[in-house]
Amino acid sequence: MMAGERIWSRITGTGGILPGRAVSNEELARQLAERGVETSDEWIVARTGIRQRYLADPSQSTSALGAAAARAALAAANVDAAAIDLIVLATSTPDQIFPSTACLVQDELGAPGAAAFDVQAVCSGFVYGLAVADAMIRTGVYRRALVIGAEVFSRILDWHDRTTCVLFGDGAGAVVLEAATEPGILAARLRADGSQARILCTAGRVVQGQLQGDPFLRMDGQAVFKLAVNVLDASAREVLADAGMSVGDIDWVIPHQANVRILSATARKLGLPESKVIVTVDQHGNTSAASVPLALDVAVRDGRIQPGQRVLLQGVGGGFTWGSVLLRF
């Protein structure tokens, strides 16, 4: 890179991991029935498009999943862990209150000296993390980052609440983001509305060694649905305007994978053919901060996303938070 040349950031490798094994709707429905909770494959598929999810076993931590996804991304980028100088990890299910899960991953990978911290923006976390890492690389101080989304949402679900427990799964996805002389990331925008904190939250906390409040995920599904569709549309238009592009310039959209109906409604509102939307929620469930990097990894590895194509990544989730990253792959 020549002195004075503009610095961009580019994704040079992707990785993902799905823990444990796939649990189908039928198997989940049988397990829930034993607890007196009634649901069915038909209801779950019709309302959400989800057919199965992966659930971590008790020995699998968020940091272990994050490190596994990071290793796959490093291998794809042909970058050694020791060359990484920044680790941004998005999670709402950290291993512990502190230190950050990013620090635990840094140790597990062997990336000594790299800056490491967590981003907490729930299902928007990966998009938030990517925008932050992009900005840090563009300062010229950092050159090779790992951006990771890693979650074990199964551990904060109330398995007696059928309105939430059928929706989520566990997993991790990661990218290597490197300084480059060409983009890369073309535009990124993050937003939040804290007045909507209560429509999707896990409000519990530990005080004086005691759990206070509700430790489980709670959601007003219909309020989340409406807000998600509106903000995803507005956010897409915002980054397209920043990059001087239009909807027709997008090759692929990877929205947060919450629900097939949200994906379809967003594509319709944007005027984008559904064939350009990458969908993994049917196979993975909603893996929160891991959903976007996992879907990106699937579509890169199966050859749909090709070098040079323009990809729109979108996050939306608790906070309420949302954001978009528009990039040339």
H-state helical runs in the chain: 25-34, 41-48, 62-77, 101-109, 125-138, 162-165, 221-243, 260-270, 281-284, 291-301
Tell me which of 25, 165, 201, 256 is the catalytic residue.
256
Would you list the DSSP string of 293-316?
HHHHHHHHHTT-S-TT-EEEEEEE
- Report the alpha-carbon distance of residue 290 to residue 68 in Å, rounded: 13
Question: Phi and psi (nearest 5°) for 129?
Answer: -65, -40
Which CB, 117 or 225, lies closer to ligand ACO? 225
Which CB, 14 or 259, lies closer to ligand ACO? 259
Instruction: Choose among 293, 3, 1: nearest CA to 150.
Output: 293
- Return the residue nearest ligand ACO (CB atom): 221
Which CB, 40 or 60, lies closer to ligand ACO? 40
CB of 56 to ligand ACO, least distance (A): 18
CB of 244 to ligand ACO, least distance (A): 29
Active site residue 256: yes
Active site residue 160: no
State the CB neighbour count (10 A cutoff) for residue 139. 8
Active site residue 123: yes
Which CB, 137 or 289, lies closer to ligand ACO? 289
* Chain contacts with ligand ACO (rule: CB under 6 A): 39, 43-44, 47-48, 123, 162-163, 166-167, 200, 219, 221-222, 224-225, 228, 256, 258-259, 261, 286, 316-317
CB of 259 to ligand ACO, least distance (A): 4
CB of 269 to ligand ACO, least distance (A): 15
Answer whether 293's CB lies under 8 Å from 127's CB. no
Answer whether 19's CB lies under 8 Å from 54's CB. yes
Active site members: 123, 256, 286
